[in-house]
Structure 1
Amino acid sequence: MTGDRARYWQRDALPGTELLAARFVRHAFARHAHAEYAIAAILDGVEEWDVDGGTMRAGAGSLVFVNPEVPHTGRAGVPEGWAYRTIYPDVTTVRAVAAELGRSGTPWFAEPVIRDPGTHRLLVAAVHAADRGDDLAASSALHAALVALLGANAGVAAPPPAPAPRAVAVARDLLHARLTAPPTLAELAEHVGLGPHALQRAFRAATGLPPHAYLVQERVRLARSLLAAGDRPAEVAAAVGFADQAHLTRHFRRHLGVPPGAYRKNVQDRGGRAA
């Protein structure tokens, strides 16, 4: 027994937001980035992760923030692991709450870890209410938590993304276009007019990931949306370019901590009990 258990789910009453209840002891997340915000309330233990060239740690009572498209890892910081409740609101959802507060632009959480007991309780309450199907309580607590978080920790708009070098932008577009039949590194480099080593360095500098890891991340993102729509894992594996369901499962677990079948079941349930 590893002690690892996790469940992602969604509720119609919380549009644009996915929820996670989890405890991880041995699982380690591969380096990846979310299209959404990741905002976690640590319940016990310690989480450790690498981000922006440094290593962060957060213990019980902490709130953890990862902004959209910021590559990071995740692992236990102590032998007993960590437990947390996490919300993944999309950019549209967070911008809408910010607009209610008179803020323009896309919010950017400036501090990766804060301690705010009141907001921590609100976030945990939102996840627990969503877990028991109390949509009014869940939506109210979630909105209050986002208001508090934006007021306390997101006083600046997201910095404009640095324009990727043209070669990286072209390479990224080609990977998206050929998700299921990608080029080799040599072919990709030739397509953009760089040597393989130069492309690897430029791509990692612009995206935080080498081309192959970026391709896997994008396959997992597409798989996640297809599974949430109800597609079966074997069908999804073929649709996004993995060799088979086992290949999908291996990478899906490294990015999300759960196998694709369990993810599909839970997000399709739109409720039920958390792990």
Structure 2
Amino acid sequence: MATLSAEHATFSVHRALPQVELLDAHYVEHAFGRHTHDTYVVAAITAGVEEFHHGGGVERAGVGTVALVNPETVVTGHAGVPEGWGYRVLYPAVESVLDAAADLRPAGAGTPAFSTAVAHDGELARLVHAVHGAVARDDALAASTAFRLLVARLLRAHSAPRAVRCAASAGASAVAEARELLRARLVDPPGLEELAAAVGARPFPLLRAFREAHGLPPHAWLNQQRVAAARSLLRRDVPPAEAAVAVGFVDQAHLARHFRRSVGVPPGAYRRAVQERTRLPVAARGTVGA
């Protein structure tokens, strides 16, 4: 359990929920920079207060509340009080939520989205703790059951139609082409001028439209894609140093800096946790900072 005196982070994945990553952490000085997740984020606050930028505003999540973040949403995260914050987090892949929701919604209902950033919902918090507890006990049936009940609770009490960002200035098609070009060139990305020329746009209008569509400028979005690609490689047991170079980071230290700011644990710890399918303690204070 988190204490108020030190930072710690424990990352885990369980065989019963292979598309759901779990984090049990307490942070004081560590701060998450602007980043996105390709998963949902469901975080039950267990101590202190987390403060995070979300949707153009600042949210505060205290003990008993659950912070909710949709995929591809730009967020930050830092302590809202001097003693920091503790939380238990689930990072379910979109596919895992759609699968769990299949029996609860009509066909073609689309991808679910959260309607609030901070839920004051004791039952939802209880279900987050239930998933974590079942994983800690290595109880596959309880873990998968609690997760499906959690998705049902989210759909019933905290879902809304998924909002779609509209690109401005350079046009949605130019932004989409730029995004795919960057994704295809993680290791050798073009400069802004080359990128704009490739999609038939001017540099500044493309920059403005890209930020409007994705919440991040192209270079920051690219680093998020690199982190996501590195996570995929680490899940396949590729060493962090090799993963770093493969996705376009200069070296392992460069990957670690971005990885910790987005994921909250070092890439080596993430790799071991995924391979061992167990709760892996991450060394305390000093190893989780940006």
**TM norm structure 2:** 0.89
CA distance in 2, matches of 1:200, 1:273: 40
Matched, 1:210 2:217: yes
Alignment of 1:85-234 (within 5 A): 85-103=88-106, 104-154=109-159, 156-160=160-164, 162=166, 165-234=172-241
How far residue 80 of structure 1 moved from its aligned partner, in angstroms, is: 1.0
Aligned to 2:262: 255
Aligned to 2:286: none
- Percent sequence identity over aligned pairs: 51
1:212-265 CA deviation, whole Å, 9 max, x = no partner? 101100000000111111100111011101111111111111111211111111
Alignment of 1:58-69 (within 5 A): 58-69=61-72
CA contact (8 A) 1:252 1:258 kept: yes
Q: Report the AA paired with residue 79 of structure 2.
A: A
How far residue 161 of structure 1 moved from its aligned partner, in angstroms, is: 5.1
SS at match of 2:47: strand
CA contact (8 A) 2:40 2:92 kept: yes
1:77-113 CA deviation, whole Å, 9 max, x = no partner? 1111111011111122212222212343221110111
Matched, 1:53 2:56: yes
Aligned to 2:8: 5
CA distance in 1, matches of 2:262, 2:20: 18
Gaps of 5+ in 1: none
What count of residue pairs does the alignment treat as equivalent? 274
Root-mean-square deviation (CA, aligned residues, Å) is 1.9
Q: From the superposition, tell whether residues 271 and 249 of structure 1 become closer, same or farther in structure 2 (CA, over 3 Å).
A: same
1:29-54 CA deviation, whole Å, 9 max, x = no partner? 12111111111100011011111111
Matched, 1:245 2:249: no
Q: Single out whichever of 71-80 and 186-195 deviates more from structure 2.
A: 186-195
SS at match of 1:7: strand
CA distance in 2, matches of 1:25, 1:253: 14
Q: Please, which of 268, 278, 282 is the counterpart of residue 271 of structure 1?
A: 278
How far residue 135 of structure 1 moved from its aligned partner, in angstroms, is: 1.5
SS at match of 2:102: helix
Q: Report the AA paired with residue 65 of structure 1.
A: L
CA distance in 2, matches of 1:149, 1:170: 34
Aligned to 1:76: 79
Q: Report the AA paired with residue 159 of structure 1.
A: A
CA distance in 1, matches of 2:101, 2:162: 12
CA distance in 2, matches of 1:196, 1:134: 53
Q: From the superposition, tell whether residues 205 and 77 of structure 1 become closer, same or farther in structure 2 (CA, over 3 Å).
A: same
CA contact (8 A) 2:28 2:82 kept: yes
